[in-house]
């Protein structure tokens, strides 16, 4: 199963300490310039080679720059049996809520 969450929902998940696995699908340089606290960097082009690193016992929350790549990845992970969520609007939406 996969679904879409808002940046506000992600912020709430993080504040509540929900057991999620947050994945930043952007490239390493973008990740190093700024990412959501607690995120693991797995660039989009490496995701399927590294899928074994993803835990099956928690919600995988994915984000990219604006959302389309993470939405596709969430759908594909769900087809493989993962619980996955896409952050609608990506890090751009999250940055709109949080000062960096």
> Cα separation of 46 and 98, whole Å?
28
> Cα separation of 36 and 20, whole Å?
13
71, 74, 78, 80 alpha-carbon torsion, rounded to 10°: 120
Does 80 qualify as catalytic in the annotation? no
Which of 59, 62, 64, 85 is an active site residue? 64
Report, as residue numbers or ranges, the catalytic residues: 64
């Amino acid at each position: 199963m996969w679904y879409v969450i808002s940046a506000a929902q992600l912020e709430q998940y993080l504040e509540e300490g929900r057991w999620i696995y947050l994945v930043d699908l952007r490239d390493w340089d973008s990740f190093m310039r700024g990412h959501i606290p607690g995120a693991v960097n797995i660039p989009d082009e490496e995701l399927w080679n590294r899928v074994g690193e993803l835990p099956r016992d928690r919600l995988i929350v994915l984000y990219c720059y604006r959302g389309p790549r993470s939405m596709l990845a969430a759908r594909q992970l769900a087809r493989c049996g993962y619980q996955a969520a896409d952050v609608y609007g990506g890090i751009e939406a999250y940055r709109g809520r949080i000062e960096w």
